[in-house]
Amino acid sequence: MSLESVSSLPEMLEVWQETLNWQPTNDQQNQLQKLYELVIEANRYVNLTRITEASEFWEKHLWDSLRGVAPKQHFIDILNHGASVIDIGTGAGFPGLPLSIIFPNSQVTLLDSTRKKINFIDSVLNDLPLTNAKTMVGRVEEIGQESKHRENYDLAVIRAVGSVSACAEYSLPLVKKGGLAVIYRGSWTKEENQSLENAVHHLGGEIELIEEFTTPLSNSIRHCLYLRKVKNTPVSFPRPVGIPTQKPL
Ligand code: SAM
């Protein structure tokens, strides 16, 4: 299959440099292109994404995934030096797969409750190949109570998995004290701010930064919420499966 290039167009390379302050190597560009081709091919059989056109895929999946960590030099440093990362509700692998391609020294765990999505990601890890990422099928409410995962990650990333308070309850229990959870959002309202503050307070975190930005091609509004884990999360969180969405903090 031959598809339009998703990552090596000269104008795209300029935007990587201007907005993220780095450019993928040729090998990484090839891996991003291959990831695109694999998603499009699998999308014929499994419902993975509505975003199939090359420039939209580049902006909304690749660029957006990386933008969440780009503004913080601290992230770049820890990701380049072996940070452990968990992507909660990764779906077709976003933001976790672009992070593991661009930061080969990081260790990325890709978690989703849907077996067929994880099967797809397993085939991607094999085909690219990527050796610094692994997958896990499960509900985050249960994984967050397992001692080998709880408070075990330097960084948790979560995009499009539910309300902001559910995302905080899913992510903060998995983060080590001193680590960060990054919640990727589209729009953001004052009411959500209140509900985030309340949730974070219960979970041993602090809101470090809420950043608004626009995407480089379609100028869509995005927000990233950076939550710092400052003390251990009480053992009652995350609550059992379904409760974080049914009874938001
Ligand atoms: N993060 C990806 C993205 O931004 O493209 C996928 C977002 S998709 C809308 C939400 C994903 O979260 C689905 O693949 C779903 O199976 C997964 N998910 C929802 N609730 C979950 C839970 N409690 N534990 C683990 N995965 C969950």
pLDDT tens for 142-191 read 999 999 999 999 999 999 999 999 999 999 999 999 999 999 999 998 88
Ligand 1 within 6 A of 174 CB? no
Q: Is residue 1 scored above 60 in pLDDT?
A: no
- Check if the beta carbon of residue 85 is closer than 8 Å to that of residue 109: yes
Hey, which residues does 200 pair with through a beta bridge?
none
Q: Where does residue 17 rank: exposed (0-12), middle (13-18), buried (19+ CB within 10 A)?
A: exposed
Ligand 1 within 6 A of 64 CB? no
Q: Hey, whose CA ends up nearest to atom 24 of ligand 1? A: 139
**pLDDT tens, residue by residue, 106-124:** 999 999 999 999 999 999 9
Q: Report the residue among 118, 161, 167, 184 best suited for mutation to probe ligand 1: largest number of ligand atoms under 8 A from its CB.
A: 161
- Separation between Cα atoms, residue 184 and residue 67, nearest integer Å: 10
**Distance from the alpha carbon of residue 26 to the mean position of ligand 1, in angstroms:** 30
Task: Give Cα separations from 157 to 42, 165, 171, 183 (angstroms).
Answer: 24, 14, 7, 6
What strands, in cross-sheet order, belong to the sheet with 84-88?
A: 133-137, 107-112, 84-88, 153-159, 175-185, 221-229, 205-214
**pLDDT tens, residue by residue, 52-70:** 999 999 999 999 999 998 8
Q: Is residue 14 scored above 80 in pLDDT?
A: yes
pLDDT score recorded for residue 2: 62
Percent of the chain with pLDDT over 70: 98
- Check if the beta carbon of residue 48 is closer than 8 Å to that of residue 120: yes
Q: Rounded to the nearest 5 degrees, what angle is found at the Cα of 144, between the Cα atoms of 143 and 146? A: 65
Ligand 1, residue 138: give the atom nearest the CA: 25
Binding positions are: 89, 94, 112-114, 140-141, 159
**Distance from the alpha carbon of residue 248 to the mean position of ligand 1, in angstroms:** 17
pLDDT score recorded for residue 162: 93
**pLDDT tens, residue by residue, 70-118:** 867 777 888 888 999 999 999 999 999 999 999 999 999 999 999 999 9
Of the two residues 39 and 22, the one the predictor is more confident about is 39
Ligand 1 within 6 A of 160 CB? yes
- For 176, the 3-state DSSP assignment is strand
| Phi–psi pair at 117, nearest 5 degrees | -70, -40
Q: Hey, whose CA ends up nearest to atom 9 of ligand 1? A: 160
Range with lowest mean pLDDT among 7-21, 109-123, 189-203, 217-231: 7-21
Ligand 1, residue 161: give the atom nearest the CA: 10
Which tokens hold the place of 61? 């999946």
**Distance from the alpha carbon of residue 9 to the mean position of ligand 1, in angstroms:** 30
Task: Give Cα separations from 87 to 21, 26, 184 (angstroms).
Answer: 23, 25, 11
pLDDT score recorded for residue 3: 74
- For 112, the 3-state DSSP assignment is strand
Helices and strands, number each (H, E), in the chain: 11, 7
Q: What is the mean pLDDT of the chain?
A: 93
Per-residue pLDDT band for 233 (boundaries 50, 70, 90) equals very high
Per-residue pLDDT band for 4 (boundaries 50, 70, 90) equals confident
Binding positions for S-adenosyl-L-methionine are: 89, 94, 112-114, 140-141, 159
Ligand 1, residue 90: give the atom nearest the CA: 1
Q: Is residue 23 scored above 90 in pLDDT?
A: no
Per-residue pLDDT band for 9 (boundaries 50, 70, 90) equals confident
Ligand 1 within 6 A of 8 CB? no
